[in-house]
Structure 1
């Protein structure tokens, strides 16, 4: 690679790192502000609303998960305890409807809870666009749609997120970055993802031009067959050669350290 390309990549990496630090510092404040705002605006009912925790699935679901995920029996029990607490907490803070009626109970992990878990439990300090894509692309099973995550779907997704094979991790990241779900990461999608990730530098007259240049550099690394877009095969081949390219367009996996810490905590509760 030419020295100019190396220098540009180094500058881009520095910019991404700076953005990560900025997001890390603001994430805690943002989460606290959301909780305060929710508390302040939620109508108060005279009688406390009954809270119905997530119902326990049939034993056959646990048996299926024991075979289809990388969690053992004790870990599955600990994960269900966590799941039930998350569902209960979310149901407890849901405000009444506009006419004062109790809201419909959502038996599952809703999007707000999902976002908080990714931020606070797995330390995914990333763009909202990435979290939105993680939510949308999370496998919900047949007929699951984009609704709340039931226990089975939640656990299967966590298995891939925390103990996934290299192929599963590649497939996860690719699905997140493939914004229009057409099986390719296009230059336009790269532009949108990188524009959200990079800090605008003081004095930049046309910050978009810098993003376009970075897109061209990244495309050279990822577009193995040189057709102007990145297929999942291109992406897998490029990551095999350079693992750092796995999260080239934004963090969508917990770090190995964070995953290990969570699993250790999970086992201590099992």
Structure 2
């Protein structure tokens, strides 16, 4: 009994002084501790908030800490990490929009909770959750509707990210054609903007969109 009590006391003290990392189950060295400016609140809470298991969260957290030892990511770091996946193009603008979607607290940084909650929606969320998240990404100024200007910016950022050396080669007019197609399909009342209701209704009736929504189910 005494040994169990001592172990619990040691665990509690480690969490209190933040030298113990409950997500990885490891002790943080003093030198590393001094560089950490943010730590997640706890594994059990994140299990409740997401659709990830404890084991999956631990794996994700180790990867997150490896890329972001301080515990938070600013936009420039996010862009730098994201650019590694698209070396043939310029992903900076799309990464900017993506960062703003992950930065749910609008404080210019993304911590592990921000990251993993959004990731849970993208990978494991319901169709409605995923579509809501996508709408929020496209709604750049967050006013509740998507304008042609916003969709044009998004499309240009995607084509920039994909690069000019794709095959088959994409025409310069492709982004505009995508935007025209998007509004022809989505803007039901032809008022020049796409609302959340219009977006959800159209997407849920489109077999290709619905299929793509399931593409990343149960990844990790």
The answer to which structure has the higher strand fraction is 2
Query: Would you say the 8 A contact 2:79–2:91 is kept in 1?
Result: no
Gap runs ≥5 in structure 2: 1-30
Q: 1:169 and 1:122 mapped to 2: Cα distance? A: 23
Paired with 1:152 and 1:133, the residues of 2 have a C-alpha distance of 19
Which of 227, 235, 238 aligns to 2:202? It is 238
Match of 1:217 in 2: 181
TM-score (norm 1): 0.54
Separation in structure 1 between the aligned mates of residue 184 and residue 66 of structure 2, nearest angstrom: 46
1:135 counterpart = 2:96: no
1:75 counterpart (35, 46, 56): 56
Change in 2 beyond 3 A, CA 1:56/1:227: closer
Alpha-carbon spacing, 1:158–1:193, altered in 2? closer, same or farther (3 Å):
closer
Task: Give the CA deviation at 1:111.
Answer: 2.4
CA RMSD after TM alignment: 3.7
Distance (whole Å) between structure 2 residues aligned to residue 179 and residue 223 of structure 1? 17
Any idea what the Cα deviations from partners look like across 1:3-25, whole Å, max 9, x if unmatched?
xxxxxxxxxxxxxxxxxxxxxxx
Instruction: Indicate how the Cα distance of structure 1 residues 120 and 71 shifts in structure 2: closer, same or farther if over 3 A, else same.
Output: farther
Q: Is the 8 A contact 1:139 1:157 kept in 2?
A: no
Q: After superposition, where does 1:26-41 map in structure 2 within 5 Å?
A: none
Aligned length: 179
Asked whether the 8 Å contact 2:94–2:158 carries over to 1, the reply is no
Give me the whole-angstrom Cα distance separating, in 2, the residues matched to 1:119 and 1:256: 21
Alignment-derived partner of residue 108 in structure 2:
147
Structure 1, unaligned runs of 5 or more: 1-49, 89-105, 247-252, 264-270
Partner of 2:137: 176
Distance 1:159 1:215, change over 3 A: closer
